[in-house]
Structure 1
């Protein structure tokens, strides 16, 4: 059954309702060499909101603050109907160690900066953006809870953090009566499926909403790259910036292009685009709440929103799953093996609860 942007989903166990696709505002502004100028960014915002979208994702340092400033301007007059999500921990001032990281000082400075840039007096959803491996979890959780109690932040969440730390933080917040984590943001797409090992099962068990960044693998799943791109520099400056980023992160590889080949075949069968197939595949997973769309043009956004209407056959889903399958790794592969099942259950039949 096809969806619409106003087919709202509950974010984890919170009372917050969000669209099934989020609008990523990291493309607002071309400070990084590949984003949208202000007029085009405004068209992106208007198109998304007019279709019923309410969930917009940014961060304090996206496009050097331009993203939040543009978003705040665009949201003026309809702020309360939108769910604005931003993030802290990335370095705001080069050379200042306390302007980045997860500390309380970094947190408070980032939130005050975001409030000014967004032109608002509260943030709907605040993520810890990147785990820093140094700040005690109690400092992070108490700092977040203080901001919620002050009314500057409504819900707190976490991104790019090991599953064991998130589950530990969830338990500590629960035991101490601090604001619970409402969601986790993570990378998940047909090319990067390792979240299936721990992060997605953890989110399901703890009742965390799951928001996906890079659901099209940095654009690789749109089908715009070929095997020639593994060795040949590309033509335009904007595309070079994105391609260089994808190459540096290992996104353009023979394995990944083979996955894209299957995506293209299924897109052709469905009379859809590869981007629509890639996005729609993430929406098939009941553990996924809302992927973030990172469009640079209104045409791209219009295309991406078409993913809400894609319906797969079981055989098409099987082909996509098989083409992109990953090794479960230890202990997951062992625990799922027939040998262990025989050792722990023998031939006993059990009723399933879920």
Structure 2
């Protein structure tokens, strides 16, 4: 069934309604060496909101993004779900301007509120787990912000499943604000989150908002075998950035080939096929999409109307399949099923 931006989904175990595609704004501004200038970023924002979108994703570490959104959202604030993140370093050389600890949490949120020109954040992610701050310090700090009304919901990104599940258990036991969402890298070229993170999110009531659903652009079809040569760093573009991260390999290009074949069969773009697959994965609430031009954004939004046949979905699943590893492969194996269940048949309802 075709979707629209105003076919809202609930975020995790909350009652918060969000669009099935979130607008990622890491491309707002040129601090990275690439991105959209303010006028172009405004067109992206207006295009998304004009189509009924309400879920906007930014971060304290995205440079100009929060400042631009502070201007763009002035006339729409109450109708938008505005998400930002903290933990990445805000002032190089200052040891306490990064990390998950209370000092940085409070300072980062106050800075985000000023830049976004708002008195509350709808959703705050712990951007990167630092392995140094005690879990209770993080959770209590987040809960304090919720009680103060500066943050409505809290969430996690880029952390091990065991840490997140421990955080959720502590929050539930202490009566602190529970986690409502999980942002993870997830695409046809990187399905590692299926091992533990996404099953954990489904079990604990966290809505999943995948980032990089196009695999850094690999699934859009813009990379070729010639890009397998590592860039020399002389070109500051997102193309060289992603190639330098090792996202362009024989395996990922092979997956992109199948995506392109399916796109040809349907009569759409490879990006739309990759997003349509992501949108319909179990546990996924809203993939985070980014663009530098309105044309790119409109093309991505049209993925909501793309429907994959069972055969096409199976081909995409097969070419991108990963080993779940121990203990998942062992527990799913025929031998374990035989020694634990034998011929027992149990119907799940």
Residue 322 (structure 2) pairs with residue 340 (structure 1): no
Structure 2 residue aligned with 1:302: 298
Structure 1 residue aligned with 2:12: 12
Q: 1:139 aligns with which of 137, 140, 157?
A: 137
1:60, 1:28 → 2: CA distance? 13
Following superposition of structure 1 onto structure 2, how do residues 4-83 of structure 1 map, counting pairs within 5 Å? 4-62=4-62, 64=63, 66-83=64-81
Aligned pair in 2 of structure 1 residues 234, 6: CA closer, same or farther (>3 Å)?
Answer: farther
1:79, 1:286 → 2: CA distance? 30
User: How many angstroms does 1:243 deviate by?
Assistant: 2.5
Structure 2 residue aligned with 1:178: 176
User: How many angstroms does 1:294 deviate by?
Assistant: 1.1
Aligned pair in 2 of structure 1 residues 205, 232: CA closer, same or farther (>3 Å)?
Answer: closer
User: How many angstroms does 1:184 deviate by?
Assistant: 0.6
SS of 2:295 mapped into structure 1: helix
Q: Deviations over 1:217-242 (max 9, x none)?
A: 111110000001112759994xx521
User: How many angstroms does 1:273 deviate by?
Assistant: 0.3
Output the TM-score relative to the length of structure 2. Answer: 0.98
Q: Deviations over 1:29-62 (max 9, x none)?
A: 1111111011110000000001000000000120
Q: Deviations over 1:266-303 (max 9, x none)?
A: 00000010000011100121310000001111110000
1:169, 1:153 → 2: CA distance? 18
Unaligned runs of 5+ in 2: none
Q: 1:213 aligns with which of 211, 214, 217?
A: 211
Alpha-carbon contact 2:11-2:180 (below 8 Å) kept: yes
Unaligned runs of 5+ in 1: none
Structure 2 residue aligned with 1:191: 189
1:343, 1:277 → 2: CA distance? 41
1:106, 1:245 → 2: CA distance? 28
Residue 309 (structure 2) pairs with residue 313 (structure 1): yes
SS of 1:154 mapped into structure 2: strand
Q: 2:278 aligns with which of 277, 282, 287?
A: 282
Residue 315 (structure 2) pairs with residue 331 (structure 1): no
SS of 1:98 mapped into structure 2: coil
Structure 2 residue aligned with 1:350: 346
SS of 1:158 mapped into structure 2: strand
SS of 2:130 mapped into structure 1: coil
2:229, 2:209 → 1: CA distance? 33
Structure 2 residue aligned with 1:202: 200
Structure 1 residue aligned with 2:109: 111
| Deviant stretches of 4+, over 6 Å | none
Alpha-carbon contact 2:18-2:54 (below 8 Å) kept: yes
In the alignment of these two chains, the number of paired residues is: 349
1:342, 1:352 → 2: CA distance? 18
Following superposition of structure 1 onto structure 2, how do residues 87-102 of structure 1 map, counting pairs within 5 Å? 87-102=85-100
Output the TM-score relative to the length of structure 1. Answer: 0.97
Considering only aligned residues, what root-mean-square deviation do their CA atoms show, in Å?
Answer: 1.3
Structure 1 residue aligned with 2:266: 270
1:114, 1:264 → 2: CA distance? 40
1:172, 1:248 → 2: CA distance? 39
